[in-house]
Amino acid sequence: MIAAPFGATLLGDFGAEVIKVEMPGKGDSLRRMGPFKGDEPLRWPGLARNKRSLTLDLHGEEGQEILKKLVAKSDVVIENFRPGTLEKWNVGYEDLKKVNEDLIMIRVTGYGQTGPYSPKAGFGTPATAFSGYTYLQGYTDRPPISPSFSLLDYITGVYVAFATSTALYYRDAAEGTGQYADIGLYESVFRMMEFLVIDYDQNGVIKERSPGLSGHSSPAGTFQTKDGHWIVLVTSSDRTFERLAQAMDREDMLSDDRFYTNAVRLQHFDLTNGIVADWVKSKDRDELQKLLDEYGVPISSINSIEDIFEDEHYKARENIVEIEHPRLGKVKMPGIVPKFSETPGSIRNVGPDLGADTNAILKDLAGLTDQEIQSLKENSIV
């Protein structure tokens, strides 16, 4: 529900014309996903921004032929059905390539188009568990923890935008051809865990769940300040630990054979973290932040969304923007990332109402008349 649409939204932020194809009368499942304000889905305005909505039933031949007319004038099709679904509807990659030989198709599923698990239902939380990520999260004396939001889907959405851009570059700049890209949800986060693969391959280590960066860097973790706030601190290099030792007035640790390198600190992780925890507990949050910023030690308070709304850096970076919504008035949503110097992107509209652009799309792109469109509506095809 999220991965492929989010990837298309990222492209839309930078000017791509994106048409969201939805079932007549029902619409996309995201329209029925919380949170809500009354009957209004609050996720939809931001996740479907910069898109146009076309209703079209692909189960029958008439709807399939209309899609092919649109594809003939399009660069990319992004889809997120189970393998074989589009082929069953006669609009798979090979079918669509017949009407547009330069077509690029991005295919997102839980487990990919191939392999024994390819037919399985694919949602982010089970795919996250399959990837090995969930196994690492939590404490050893408690069950593994799934992410509290659709992390895997959003990561995969970045791969969707990346795959689209790469395929377009190959086709247009490198004078190549159209092609399809096959992305399994679980693969997007598995690709980021090369440390897990090589450690098992070379050392036979099965990394168990642990909080923070345990096993990578020391000291590292979550610490509580004197005034009750939680902060995250990490020293991923010996140089940053040197700066922390100086800030703590514990330069003696730099010559101590238990602490002088990251490798030996990892062997004494609990002891090292305990020393840092006691020191952090002696400082108020703002005092600690100021001191460690001066020394160049990586630290951040653990922000709630309320903290984020009030933070001056978020404001300066325009990480939260305000957009007009037809029923809610002004709504806030995340800003555009990344920030290009010459093509900064824009938010042209919030997620559209169901079928809001059907008439215009069918007339302008498919070349249908008003009478033909009316007939399609009467037959519930759009």
Q: If we measure between CA atoms, which residue out of 54, 21, 143, 118 comes closest to residue 358?
A: 54
Separation between Cα atoms, residue 125 and residue 123, nearest integer Å: 6
Asked if 158 and 166 count as a contact pair (C-beta separation under 8 A), the reply is: no
Q: If we measure between CA atoms, which residue out of 79, 124, 106, 120 comes closest to residue 178?
A: 106
What stretches of 103-176 show up as alpha helix (H) in DSSP?
124-131, 151-168
- Six-digit token string for 124: 């982010």
Q: Is 199 exposed, middle or buried (0-12, 13-18, 19+ CB in 10 A)?
A: middle
357 included as an active-site residue: no
What are residue 196's phi and psi, to 5 degrees?
Answer: -70, -45
Catalytic option among 13, 28, 57, 153: 153
Dihedral sign from CA coordinates of 372, 377, 380, 382:
positive
Asked if 298 and 233 count as a contact pair (C-beta separation under 8 A), the reply is: yes
Kindly list the catalytic residues.
Answer: 153
